[in-house]
Structure 1
Amino acid sequence: MKKSVLLHVSPNMFPDINVNHATKKIWKELSKGFDEYHLFARSSDKKYHFYTEGNINLHLIPTFSKKARSFFLVSFLTIYFAKRYRVTQMIAQCPITTGLAVSLTSKLLKIPFMTEIHGMEYLNLMKRKDVIGHFSNLYLRFVFKSSHKLRSLSSKMTELIEELQIESNIVEIPNRVNFNIFNNPKNHFEITQPINITSVGRFVPEKGYELLIQSIIELSDDFNINLTLVGGGSLESRYISLIGDNKNINLIKWIPQEEFIDILHETDIYIQSSISEGMPRTILEAMAMRLPIISTNVGGILGVLEDEHNALIINPHSVNEIKSAIKELVSDEHKRVSIANNAFEDVREKYEWNNIFNLYREELKKMSY
């Protein structure tokens, strides 16, 4: 019987396989459905590294710089790896940096593949009216049309993909929560003093943190309120400048998952202030911790969150809407309880770790050329 071999092509940078991290848990889950699982990704130095653990094989490839886009050229080694290991299915983790190489490999070697869409930046590129938008539209349509399956993270994301008249075989495989890790949800909804507000995500423009910081600074005149931003990134110095001498805003670059869960457990309100987004897993983790959530209505978020049911939904780019939503939840305990409990029930029913990975593996294994 022919072996099943999955090749996962990702522009991300990973440590060696002996290091335990959140993404490694994903590798272990995907590998359960295949005789061999090969991950082809970016190394942190100028050397090739190969690691193996069970049926997981990690190939870390050197690139010309530390930026993810530098992976585009070396991604064409996908053809060599796919042929050498007799790959039967593939995943293109990023439509731009890995999509073309995987598409050509698929056509040359007759191997089916799934393209993943984790963020709205790809769809936004296709809507641009300039030269970059025109080229991106042609490029991404080729990748999507070549894909045997196109992974969407929510019903809203599917709707946005279909609006662009992309006719690929779209499958909804949402992000998921491991309840073995997020196993200690809040059991009270009294507002603490200070009021603790948390948001998680890279310090990049898309997360809308400048607006959130401004909102908290203005609310501090009337409320004893703390904001914790977890993520780190290129805009950290900008945020430090905006915060100034305010002692109620805390920036955290990176922490172990256990400490992150502790922060969520002490959180009164979770906020997703993004101005552009796919469907962040951090929202699901906040739901699993039974937190009242405020979120902007961007990307695929509305496929998971529903206004006044499991979150308060606001428009992006609005300091006033952020402030109004915070005030509403602070003053209305019944709403906090209702939103948090509904979010908790929804995430347990729809986004449980094992159920989602069973779906993920089955969709991959069913692909044929």
Structure 2
Amino acid sequence: MKILMVAIPNHHFFQWVNQLKNSGYEVFWFDVTDGGPKSDRINWVKQIKGWKLKWDFPFRSRIKKAFPSIYKFIQKYNENTVYDEFKSQMETIKPDIVHCFEMQLSGLPILSIMEQNNVPFMYSSWGSDVFYFEQLGVTNEDLKSFYNRVDYLITDCKRDYKIAVNNGFNSAFLGVFPGNGGLEVDVSKILPVSKRKIILIKGYDDGVGKASIIFKALESIPKAFFQNKEVVVYSADDTIKRQVEVSKQLSNLSIKIYSRYAFIENEKLLSFMGQSCIHIANSISDGMPNALLEAMAMGAFPIQSNPGQVTEEVVEHNKNGLLISNPNSPEEIAVHIQNAINNETLRKDAQNFNINYIQKYYNRATLQPEIQALYESVNAKSF
């Protein structure tokens, strides 16, 4: 069986694809953005890269930097389109299944080609692309056309399946699966509650991510709460770094920031989670956050926003975490942080519950045969 994957270069995509390693399937990846070199993380996959440029002319990078308007004009004639390249790949590979990950970036750019054939078309929703489609620039017409062509849907939460159906999707639903294909936990990196000294924060502050509200909350909390604690921020937008630098209260804390634009290995992030007393993430739109599941797996107490009520599918407020009801309220977040730090018993009970919960429902080894079987079932139905 030939499976043609369509996705941007992404850690969670690589993890999903690796669930098919040694399955016997012939897997291809069309990098819809053609960003960067081939990935060693999925070196067993036939990667379609380097397709965009017709001619990598001398001094191209210098011209791009020094004369952006001239470069943009040249590239109008020097770049292959997604339409032409993907159509060519479809004709060459003749896949049995096409599987795209995320609608706006991967699904819509290939939709017009997929409408010209009857190859089984799978779609995995990611993040906000179902819940927040209008704000992401997807029109109702595009959404309807896309759902009409998709044959099989996979979501990372129950909410998004219901939303898709309400917006016209009426084909087969393959189920709810984590976007990264499941979690593999190194239990040796999980510290007991008494030894956890990190307050870990996801630093997205891009309009959807609201990390800046978390830092406003930190400013209002007495410094005594952070005694012997270190604040670690990962995937931080530049606005967060500036917010910390100009704040007298924040600059007095021990804060380490990892930029959103500097790669941090997932193993290192999981290690941080295994040392964290709390993990805070705040946004106004999301699917089932992979970072939330990873934090739970590593025993970090989650304080998480709940856009569209998706987080409450795995977190019960005041039992195994705390839900942020208003992501724009630093006052609410400040109360949650103080309550979590003060209540070691709650964090200990939550740690035991969450580790067992993730092991039961999101274990990578358990999910692998189920994920491999998805493609077999789709292929069987196409005959």
TM superposition score category, shorter chain reference: 0.7 to 0.9
Query: Aligned to 2:231, what secondary structure does the other structure show?
Result: strand
Question: Pick from 8, 12, 16: which aligns with 1:11?
Answer: 8
Quick one: distance in 1 between partners of 2:44 and 2:301?
Answer: 40
Q: How far, CA to CA, are the matches of 1:251 and 1:151 in structure 2?
A: 34
Q: Work out the number of aligned pairs and report it.
A: 346
Map Cα deviations across residues 256-291 of structure 1 (whole Å, 9 max, x no partner). Answer: 333323322221111122222111211111111122
Name the structure 1 match of 2:295.
Answer: 286
Q: Does 1:250 align with 2:240?
A: no
Contact 1:269/1:292 (8 A) holds in 2: yes
Partner of 1:255, secondary structure, is: coil
User: Is it true that 1:231 corresponds to 2:235 in the alignment?
Assistant: yes
Which of 93, 110, 123 does residue 131 from structure 2 map onto?
123
Find the counterpart in structure 2 of residue 57 from structure 1: 46
Give distance in 2, aligned partners of 1:51 and 1:236.
Answer: 31
Distance 1:345 1:51 in 2: 32
AA aligned to 1:266 is Q
When residues 197 and 348 of structure 1 are mapped into structure 2, their CA distance, relative to the original with a 3 A threshold, is same
**TM-score of the superposition, structure 2-length normalised?**
0.78
Residue number in structure 1 paired with 2:285: 276
User: Could you tell me how far apart the structure 2 residues matched to 1:350 and 1:50 are?
Assistant: 29
Distance 2:222 2:124 in 1: 41
Instruction: Give yes or no for contact 1:51–1:57 (8 Å, CA) kept in 2.
Output: no
Inter-CA distance 234–92: structure 2 relative to 1 (3 Å threshold): farther
Residues 5 and 37, structure 1, Cα contact 8 Å, conserved in 2: yes
Q: Where do 1:211-222 residues align within 5 Å?
A: 211-222=213-224
Among candidates 348, 354, 363, match of residue 374 of structure 2: 363
Is residue 310–residue 340 contact of structure 1 (8 Å, CA) maintained in 2? yes
Corresponding residue number in structure 1 for 2:25: 35
Q: Relative to structure 1, is the Cα distance of residues 34 and 91 closer, same or farther in structure 2, using a 3 angstrom cutoff?
A: farther
Determine the structure 2 residue equivalent to 1:109: 117
CA gap of 1:354–1:50, structure 2 versus 1, over 3 A, is: closer
Report 1:77-116 matches (<5 A). 77-116=85-124
Q: CA deviation at 1:73?
A: 4.1
Could you tell me the percent identity over the aligned residues? 17
| Alignment root-mean-square deviation, CA | 3.3
Q: 1:301 aligns with which of 302, 311, 316?
A: 311
Out of 292, 312, 315, the position equivalent to 2:322 is 312
1:351 correspondence with 2:351: no
User: Once the 2 structures are TM-superposed, how far is the Cα of residue 11 of structure 1 from its aligned partner?
Assistant: 3.0
Is there any run of 5+ residues in structure 2 with no aligned partner, and where? 54-63, 65-75
SS of corresponding position for 1:150: strand
Match of 2:148 in 1: 145
Q: Whole-Å Cα distance in 1 between the matches of residues 342 and 142 of structure 2?
A: 50
Say which SS state the counterpart of residue 169 (structure 2) adopts: coil
Q: Which moved more, 1:295-304 or 1:323-332?
A: 295-304
The TM-score with structure 1 as length reference comes to: 0.81
Unaligned runs of 5+ in 1: 14-20
Deviation at 1:75, TM superposition (A): 5.0
Q: Contact conserved, 1:78 with 1:101, CA < 8 A, in 2?
A: no
8 A Cα contact 1:208 1:317, kept in partner? yes
Name the SS for the 2:354 alignment partner: helix
Residue by residue over 1:18-47, the C-alpha shift from the partner in whole angstroms, topping out at 9 and shown as x without a partner, is xxx7754433323443531100103346xx
Amino acid at match of 2:29: L
Q: 1 CA distance for matches of 2:333 and 2:208?
A: 16
Deviation at 1:325, TM superposition (A): 1.2
Query: Could you tell me how far apart the structure 1 residues matched to 2:264 and 2:41 are?
Result: 27
Which residue of structure 1 aligns with residue 200 of structure 2? 198
Flag the 1:165–1:82 CA change in 2: closer, same or farther, 3 A.
closer
Contact map agreement 1:203 1:231 (CA 8 A) in 2: no
* C-alpha contact (below 8 Å) 2:2/2:26 kept by paired residues: yes
Q: Distance in 2 between matches of 1:159 and 1:211?
A: 30
Residue 354 to residue 82, structure 1, CA distance change in 2 (3 Å)? farther
1:352 deviates by 0.7
Q: Which has the higher helix share?
A: 2
Per the alignment, residue 155 of structure 1 pairs with: 158
The CA distance in 1 between the partners of 2:83 and 2:236, in whole Å, is 27
1:89, CA displacement in angstroms? Answer: 0.4
The answer to whether the 8 A contact 1:174-1:351 is kept is yes
**1:185/1:75 Cα in 2 relative to 1: closer, same or farther (>3 Å)?**
farther
For 1:182 and 1:317, the matched residues in 2 are separated by 35
Q: What secondary structure is seen at the aligned counterpart in 1 of 2:317? A: coil
Assess, with a 3 A threshold, how the Cα gap between structure 1 residues 177 and 310 changes in structure 2: closer, same or farther: farther
SS in 2 for 1:204: coil
Contact 1:216 1:227 in 2 (8 A): no
CA distance in 1, matches of 2:12, 2:41: 18
